Structure 1
Amino acid sequence: MSILTLKEDRPTPKSVYNWRVYVCAAVASFASCLIGYESAFFGTTLALPSFTQEFKFDTYDENDLAMLKQNLVSVYQAGAFFGSLAAFATSYFLGRRWSLMFFNIIFIIGCGIQLAATGDKGLGLIIGGRVLGGFGVGGCSNMTPIYISELSPPAVRGRLVGLYELGWQIGGLVGFWINYGVNTTMEPSTKQWLIPFGVQLIPAGLLFFGCLFIPESPRWLLSKGRRDKAIKILCWIRQLDRGDTYMMEELSYIDDDLERYRREVGAGFWKPFASLKERKVQWRFVLGGLLFVFQNGSGINAINYYSPTVFRSIGIQGTNTTFLTTGLFGVVKTVLTFVWLLVLIDHVGRRKLLMIGATGGSLCMWFIGAYVKISDPESNQNNEKLSSAGIVAVFFFYLWTAFYTPSWNGTPWVINSEMFNQNTRSLGQASAAANNWFWNFIVARFTEQMFSKLGYGVYFFFASLMVISVFFVFFLVPETKSIPLEVMDRLFRAKPTYRANGIILRELELEEEAFRTAAREREGGEKEKPSIEEVDDKAAKKV
């Protein structure tokens, strides 16, 4: 098998890998476009001369200004934290699709409030709008990966959930460049800084109209007993007839999974919380949270939210130069996200990417920290160009980006979207998204102070966490590539962890052979092959 060969859990008709599932995933990923843009544009907007003049930043002393900036950035993450938790309730009652619509509307209202802000009215409207926008973003960050993973064939699930990360990077790319554009083409004015705020409404509007046309998750419909509609949507997405063997197998997997959890845990809004009493479920929640601890511990969100501060610490000077360097950072991330999405995530696998990315990224951070320690560029600023060592440090910064982007940037979202069972998936994703936004909040709230107090030590801190993450992944995180969602419980029971994927795929091969042998025997005997209606009746009796 070559690196580009998809590894399937069972023989899969080519029609399953069709445009419909990609379009549904792409539409849902407009949510991540608005998340990425929101996360990227605000840090450089705070450095726009027109914004600093409008809200009189020059009247604050250095410490108060740093505190104000941290509060302006971090209230967004605080809102997103609570939004990601609220999405558990909406997804249970409204479903995946309408939850996306609900949180998107809240985000749009938050954007409208921010656009009403002026220097005379103060920063209150921006803070309130960012809290509300963050709440909407948090809910979308919970729903989008779940929705996509529940529609996806196992062999390309990583690629499709990866569209969520791609949308994030495209939104971030625009967010990184927007302020460079307005700063170089427009005179300082209220309009100059309002344009970046207004652009937020573009991906939000695309998501709003897209949600009117995409279908609900078939797995959610089956969990609510709406079987006929679920089968109709699943057949439409897979482009297969109801009686196709692949369809019958997929429905059988879902039915068995739902039956088992209704029997062992029970159906209902509060039942997933009861399942948290089980250690095996608790452990998966811990793993999901730790993945985002190490993702944020890489330093990525310190760069996203405070890129001017980060680049100034390396020795890059001037507003436009900082914006340009930040924009190039966004370009590198977006290009490498395409490579991760199209080639790496479903072929190399999740574990290898995380370990390789952490190892390479750590080495880069060690070098950058050593350069800042030895050269102390921030204390020796002048109008001259970067020194040779400074140029090398910038190169290692972009090399760090090349290691981080196709590994820790989107892979934790993919793993969290697929490793929970049907009964705990929404709650598990809520926990994972809340963890992401909590650690985002910590980084956003204290980055300025960390650079002020630790200096070069910040880079050593991030490098150390990346080293620890290598051992964490190797010993504790199983490979989820190509494993059906309904078989994840078996994957997490298999030992040793680093061989679990191969063990489960072999078991599935044997089960597939047995299934098809039994089907051939039925076809050759007196009893005819069971129809989809018979399968439905059997499933209904089980429930």
Structure 2
Amino acid sequence: MSPRTALGDFRAYWLGTVACIGGFLFGYDSGLMGAIITFKSFQDDFHYGTHSATRTNSLVVGIQQAGAFVGCWAIWPIAARWGRRRAIMVCSAIFTLGAIIQTINSHSLGAFYFGRVVSGLGLGGSSVIISMFSSENAPKEIRGRLGSFYQLMYTFGIFTAYWVDYAVANLIGPVTRQWQIPIALQIIPAALLGIGMLTVSESVRWLAQKGRDEEAWESLKWIRADDSEETRAELKEIQLTLAQEQNARNGFQYTELLERDNFKRLSIGVVVFLCQQSVGATALAYYGPQFFKLLVGAGSSNLLLTAIFGAVKIVACGTFVLFFSERIGRKAALIGGGIFMSICMIIITILTKVDPPPGGGVVTGSGIGTVALIYANIMAYNFSWGPLPWPIVGEIFPARIKEIGIGTGVGSQWLWNFMYSFSVSYMMAAMNTYIFLFFGVADIFVVLFTVFFLKETRGLSLEEVQAVYASGAAKTVAKRASVGSEEERSSIDKTQSGHRENV
């Protein structure tokens, strides 16, 4: 283990912060369009009315997720050949181009959709590489905290988008710049992400994987702000781990993915993100004003309620990341969160049927109750299904299929994200307030999936996680692999001890 230095910690946090600007960008865009599609200025400039509003809203919000689904796969060869930093810079440039196309008042929905797809390519690619870049460079002592920055910055991005939309809706009349300003502001974090990559070093792990050992050493020295023998021993450990992973992948055949344990883990990786999208939080983030309209009726309060919703999200997410992320069991949190969210959604359905919102900007006691339940729901989400699927998918795959497994899981997240972001507008039009019942029932199935298929892994090493998810003969193999890993680690410890004695 490398000695901790104040400068090294600063550089690690700086690297994590710069990378997680991508999380802010993802969140800002997620919270942006739900309000913009309600602006009369946007509807007038792109010439569509109420008869085509549902289809247009679905495409404006959802089509970017389709681009992101493609982008999260397309970025892999770029990151493998050119490195993590360049891949993130490419994603930044692509997203910026898409944002510029969206900002131009072309009066063409086709051009706007194209800009959304281009931005999606950059967004999807960065979502994969940023987490990888951060985890490959962070000291193990703060890796979990830096990894949580992405989710926190994502939530902060949503919060910012809601309040920007609220501000322009109240300060600027129904003219073109009312919708152009929020969209153009995306360019700032996108540019900062790309430029920020120039201030940090390349992934040590990627350089070592390419056999560029001197560059890997220089990069590790810069990140740790230390050139001691302990830091050299850390580099040797990284090189040994890479060799072990390469050995584990030797002779890999894609048909192995159909083997029982591998297929089970791949299925879990896909379904866990389906569950994350099915609890309704993503739909609420994308279509906040429309959902609050169902709860309290049409009126100017919908944007304000959505902005407050964003504030509740960031407080809940920050509280979880800072105080609870390593203190509560993952499975227990997922089960408890699912049950609580189901109860909230079912009660909301009952209240909206017993006492429908009167409209005209009048908010009844029942309406206040449903809004409070939505806020409680999103708090539970940020303590459970918001942050926890990511570490679960990151740890359940053995080294032999790890890259394919994580790629499949993250890719499915964008697929389900697209499915819900595109369909929710139609669901609201067809189901009205019964959409809350849909999510409440979906929460029940999410809890059942957690009970029967997920394992508790908090506090376990990666080797122990593999053993927990293995079955039968596979569990024996995992146990042997764990023993081998411990023996190899013991050898590394002896090497490090020898270095210290020589010093």
Instruction: Give the structure-2-normalised TM-score.
Output: 0.88
1:518–1:285 Cα change, 3 Å: closer
Unaligned runs of 5+ in 2: none
Describe the shift of the 1:188–1:272 C-alpha distance in structure 2 as closer, same or farther (beyond 3 A): farther
Deviation at 1:387, TM superposition (A): 1.9
Give the direction of change, closer, same or farther, for the CA distance of 1:335–1:315 in structure 2 (3 Å limit).
same
Residue in 2 aligned with 1:49? 40
Q: What SS class does the counterpart of residue 225 from structure 1 fall into?
A: coil
Which deviations, in whole Å up to 9, do the C-alpha atoms of 1:240-298 show, x marking residues without a partner?
A: 44422x8636743x44433333223239xxx6857635544443332222221111011
Q: 1:248 maps to which residue? A: 233
Could you tell me how far apart the structure 1 residues matched to 2:459 and 2:133 are?
18
CA-atom RMSD, angstroms? Answer: 3.2
Partner of 1:488: 462
Q: Secondary structure at the match of 2:199?
A: coil
In structure 1, what is the equivalent of residue 112 of structure 2?
126
Deviation at 1:518, TM superposition (A): 7.7
In 2: Cα distance, 1:45 partner to 1:414 partner: 33
Give the match for residue 373 of structure 2.
Answer: 396
How does 1:70-219 map onto structure 2 within 5 Å?
70-119=58-107, 122-219=108-205
Cα deviations by residue, 1:204-246 (Å, 9 ceiling, x for unpaired) = 01101101122222222222222232233234334444422x8
Question: Aligned partners of 1:81 and 1:126: how far apart in 2?
Answer: 18
> What amino acid is aligned across from residue 366 of structure 2 in structure 1?
A
AA aligned to 2:46 is F
1:314 aligns with 2:292: no
**Aligned counterpart in structure 1 of residue 268 of structure 2, from 287, 305, 309:** 287
Change in 2 beyond 3 A, CA 1:272/1:178? farther
Picking from 302, 307, 312, the partner of 1:327 is 307
1:66 aligns with 2:54: yes
Equivalent position amino acid for 2:276 in 1: Q
Query: What is the CA–CA distance in structure 1 between the aligned matches of 2:382 and 2:430, rounded to whole Å?
Result: 28
Quick one: which of 477, 481, 489 aligns to 2:454?
Answer: 477
Assess if the C-alpha contact under 8 Å between 1:364 and 1:397 holds in 2.
yes
For 2:224 and 2:190, how far apart are their aligned partners in 1?
Answer: 28
2:15 corresponds to: 24
67-76 or 254-263, which moves further after superposition? 254-263
Does residue 1:357 correspond to 2:343, yes or no?
no
Post-superposition CA distance 1:23-65 (Å, at most 9, x none) = 111100111111111111111000112112222333x52xx22
Residue 423 (structure 1) shift? 6.2
1:493-508 mapped onto 2 (5 Å cutoff): 493-494=467-468
- Counterpart Cα distance in 2 of 1:26 and 1:166: 11
1:468 aligns with 2:445: yes
* Separation of aligned partners in 2, 1:199 and 1:34: 10
Deviates more, 1:465-474 or 1:384-393: 465-474
Partner of 1:428: 405
User: Residue 177 of structure 1: CA displacement?
Assistant: 1.4
Distance 1:316 1:368 in 2: 14
Q: CA deviation at 1:328?
A: 0.5
1:248 counterpart letter in structure 2: A
Q: How does 1:331-346 map to 2 (within 5 A)?
A: 331-346=311-326
Contact residue 155 and residue 481 of structure 1 kept, 8 A = no
Contact 1:146 1:426 in 2 (8 A): no
Say if 1:265 and 1:272, in contact at 8 Å, map to a contact too: no
Identity of aligned residues (%): 29
Report the equivalent of 1:540. none
Structure 1 residue 384, shift from structure 2 partner: 5.9
Do the aligned residues in 2 keep the contact of 1:83 with 1:139 (CA within 8 Å)?
yes
User: Offset at 1:301?
Assistant: 1.7
1:449 paired residue among 409, 419, 426: 426
Pick which of 159-168 and 457-466 moved more: 457-466
Distance 1:76 1:257 in 2: 37
Aligned partner of residue 56 in structure 1, secondary structure: coil
Length-normalised TM-score, structure 1: 0.82
Pick closer, same or farther for the CA change 1:426–1:263 going to 2, 3 Å: closer
How far apart in 2 are the matches of 1:328 and 1:263? 51
User: Against the structure 1 CA distance between its residues 517 and 232, is the aligned structure 2 distance closer, same or farther, given a 3 Å change threshold?
Assistant: closer
Measure the CA separation in 1 of the matches of 2:150 and 2:77.
22
Classify 1:160/1:475 alpha carbon distance in 2 versus 1 (closer, same or farther; 3 Å): farther
The gaps in structure 1 that reach 5 residues or longer are 1-10, 524-528, 534-543
Aligned to 1:232: 218
Query: CA shift at 1:416, angstroms?
Result: 3.1
